[in-house]
């Protein structure tokens, strides 16, 4: 009897099409995780966080990142006016940007220092006063077409392989080649992407001179892990105007060739640079000089947030002291060599790292090298930096 009842129930259920329960609806696909924005540019090994976003009404959606960090420095053979130990707020900046629509903007505001090899250390307040102020980078961006953009404002330079602020670079201190390059310029820049090629052209004030007599441009080819960039810039109307932010190099022309290999745990970046400051008596340059230089920057990431970066540089200047050639390094005709090693640890937005560096000056003019009398050829330094990158720390 029970067997007949079971067969009857099965027959009825089959006729009604209910032998299986209805399938559950498919779960919606997971939303893609937020990604860091391309600006500000960060070479690594530090990794930027995705931005925090909010609706700003008529301005649309805004993205916000920030950085807060401090540094300590020890050095030997410091020059007069400097000190063997220093400490400062290295970055205390907020970054707000609008990244969609036909018009966009970018604002980077706050405190910073600009530590560089072979230069005296400047405190945060002095850096703000002598260099780019409390809003060093701010521009409006117009995007009239998918692969075309126009930037107007205070812009990061197109020149060189190292960026302006410490958190953007492999090493805490910028190198000897960076000392020959503009960092931030005010002007207008046009960008165009064409397949594997991207190009930029800028009319600007060079080394923050307020004299809009510079033209600079870059052309980059990128394919897979490889990229090759050619950069050129120069002042077509020299000037005697000089400040801490506007050195005699504001009268120069400069050329870079930069190769970058980025794959897996590695970033390898060799580059070559040539600069020339011509003779110009009206600009106070009795005899011009040039520099020729090369550098290799390498970064390797490991597990658990650890990484190691290194930099090697060599630079030489032409001229001779007895000919009154302009001093671009450690005196006319001098040369410089540097080595820097930077171990780094990052967990989420927290990071800590240190620089161990050594600079050697050769062929220097007495008084233009290191130490209290400017006659010591060597300067070792050790730096430490600890801080936080802020954004949307999505796990």
**pLDDT, tens digit (0-9, with 9 covering 90-100), for 79-108:** 999 999 999 999 999 999 999 999 999 999
282 — pLDDT class (breaks 50, 70, 90): confident
Q: Which two tokens stand for residue 339?
A: 């080595």
Contacts (Cβ under 8 Å, ≥6 apart) of 95: 39, 40, 64, 65, 66, 67, 106, 107, 108
- Domains in the chain, ordered, with CATH? 41-390 (2.40.160.10)
> Is residue 222 within 8 Å of 198, Cβ to Cβ?
yes
Q: What is the pLDDT of residue 395?
A: 53
Mean pLDDT over residues 52-66, rounded?
94
Cα angle for residues 350, 352, 356 (degrees, 5° grid): 160
Asked if residue 366 has pLDDT above 90, the reply is yes
Asked if residue 6 has pLDDT above 70, the reply is no
Asked if residue 257 has pLDDT above 50, the reply is yes
pLDDT in tens, 202-251: 999 999 999 999 999 999 999 999 999 999 999 999 899 999 999 999 99
**pLDDT, mean over the chain:** 92
> Is residue 289 within 8 Å of 319, Cβ to Cβ?
yes
Count of Cβ atoms closer than 10 Å to residue 233 Cβ = 25
Asked if residue 10 has pLDDT above 50, the reply is no
Q: Which helix (H) or strand (E) covers residue 328, if one does?
A: none
Q: What is the pLDDT of residue 25?
A: 62
Asked if residue 3 has pLDDT above 90, the reply is no
Q: What is the pLDDT of residue 32?
A: 64
Asked if residue 14 has pLDDT above 80, the reply is no
Asked if residue 268 has pLDDT above 80, the reply is yes
> Is residue 252 within 8 Å of 237, Cβ to Cβ?
no
Q: What is the pLDDT of residue 377?
A: 98
Instruction: Look at residues 289, 383, 369, 297 and name the one whose alpha carbon lies nearest to residue 336.
Output: 369
Global pTM?
0.89
- Please give the sequence-ordered ranges of beta strands (E in DSSP) within 195-265, or none if there are none: 197-204, 214-223, 226-235, 253-263
């Amino acid at each position: 009897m029970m067997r007949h009842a079971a067969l009857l129930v099965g027959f009825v259920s089959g006729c009604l099409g209910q032998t299986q329960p209805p399938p559950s609806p498919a779960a919606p696909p997971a939303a893609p995780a937020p990604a860091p924005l391309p600006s500000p540019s960060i070479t690594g090994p530090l990794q930027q966080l995705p931005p925090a976003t909010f609706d700003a009404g008529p301005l649309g959606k805004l993205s916000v990142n920030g950085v807060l960090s401090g540094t300590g420095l020890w050095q030997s053979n410091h020059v007069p006016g400097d000190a063997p130990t220093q400490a400062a707020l290295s970055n205390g900046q907020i970054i707000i940007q609008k990244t969609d629509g036909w018009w966009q903007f970018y604002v980077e505001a706050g405190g910073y220092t600009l530590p560089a090899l072979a230069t005296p250390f400047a405190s945060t307040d002095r850096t703000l006063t002598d260099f780019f102020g409390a809003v060093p980078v701010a521009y409006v961006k117009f995007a009239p077409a998918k692969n075309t953009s126009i930037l107007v404002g205070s812009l990061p330079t197109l020149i060189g392989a190292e960026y302006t602020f410490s958190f953007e670079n492999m090493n805490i201190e910028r190198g000897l080649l960076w000392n020959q390059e503009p960092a931030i310029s005010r002007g207008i820049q046009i960008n165009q992407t064409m397949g594997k090629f991207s190009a930029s052209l800028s009319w600007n004030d060079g080394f923050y001179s307020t004299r809009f007599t510079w033209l600079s441009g870059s052309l980059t080819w990128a394919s897979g892990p490889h990229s090759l960039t050619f950069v050129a810039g120069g002042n077509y109307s020299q000037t005697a105007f000089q400040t801490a932010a506007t050195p005699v190099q504001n009268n120069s022309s400069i050329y870079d060739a930069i190769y970058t290999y980025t794959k897996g745990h590695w970033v390898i970046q060799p580059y070559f640079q040539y600069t020339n400051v011509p003779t110009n008596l009206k600009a106070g340059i009795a005899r011009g000089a040039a520099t020729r230089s090369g550098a290799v920057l390498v970064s390797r990431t490991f597990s658990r947030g650890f990484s190691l970066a290194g930099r090697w540089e060599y630079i030489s200047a032409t001229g001779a002291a007895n000919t009154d050639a302009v001093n671009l390094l450690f005196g006319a005709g001098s040369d410089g060599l540097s080595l820097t090693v930077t171990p780094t640890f990052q967990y989420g937005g927290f990071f800590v790292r240190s620089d161990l560096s050594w600079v050697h000056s050769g062929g220097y003019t007495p008084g233009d090298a290191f130490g209290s009398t400017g006659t010591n050829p060597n300067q070792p330094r050790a730096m430490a930096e600890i801080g936080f990158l802020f954004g949307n720390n999505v796990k």
